[in-house]
Chains A and B, each alone.
Chain A
């Protein structure tokens, strides 16, 4: 089982967290086309390589966080996003 580094709690068993999948931007519900909305709902990049994903520390600090995971090697790293502090929520990092 992967050890996932929660920015608040430290390394956590993946099973103690909730996996919320690939990180994606929510389109503006007022102006989006069906195609954009359904891409947001259903389509995932599923790359072979680094993937930015969402996790929820459901049994620990109850914070949502993002992490980059290498889908081939299982390596994890804090996402490198300019101007953001580690552990920022999805909202901060959009």
Chain B
């Protein structure tokens, strides 16, 4: 059983910050990991880039000290989020993307970039009450196509 949800209106911000900046220190985390802070999911998606996701994202973004080589872009309207949840969620993604979504390589809280059904996605393993779940972030213009591809892939489960 796989559940696919389009989280259309989730607030999102992208913060870019170089080593040594106040913003980098405040956001922390290791590259490829994520953490829930209040109602914000903070993801270090690239060595010098963090995503702030969820209702708390605008406030957290506004509170960041962006001095030095640091910047923020509100990506709420650029990117959209799709959640794939269920025991067979990894198997669903494995039909569309080449990365290893299993527990060794992508444990809960891990984050990575991978092409899913030909669309570049940022993926956060974000289990929901112990059930396997992946949050996929992608350019919003693909979402109609993308949901179709996901449902097609999940149809065997």
Contact = CB atoms under 8 A, between A and B. Distances in A.
Please say whether the chains A and B touch (CB closer than 8 A): yes
Q: Is the interface of A mostly helix, strand, loop or mixed?
A: loop
Given A15-B98, A59-B120, A8 B114 contact: no
Interface residues of A, number: 11
A16 interface: yes
B113 interface: yes
B46 interface: yes
Contact of B46 (A13, A15, A16, A62): A62
B140 interface: no
A15 B98 CA distance: 9
A16 B118 CA distance: 11
B47 interface: yes
A62 B113 contact: yes
Contacts of B112: 9, 60
A59 B122 CA distance: 9
B115 A59 contact: yes
A59 B112 CA distance: 9
Interface of A: 8-9, 13, 15-16, 58-63
Interface of B: 31-32, 46-47, 98-99, 112-115, 120
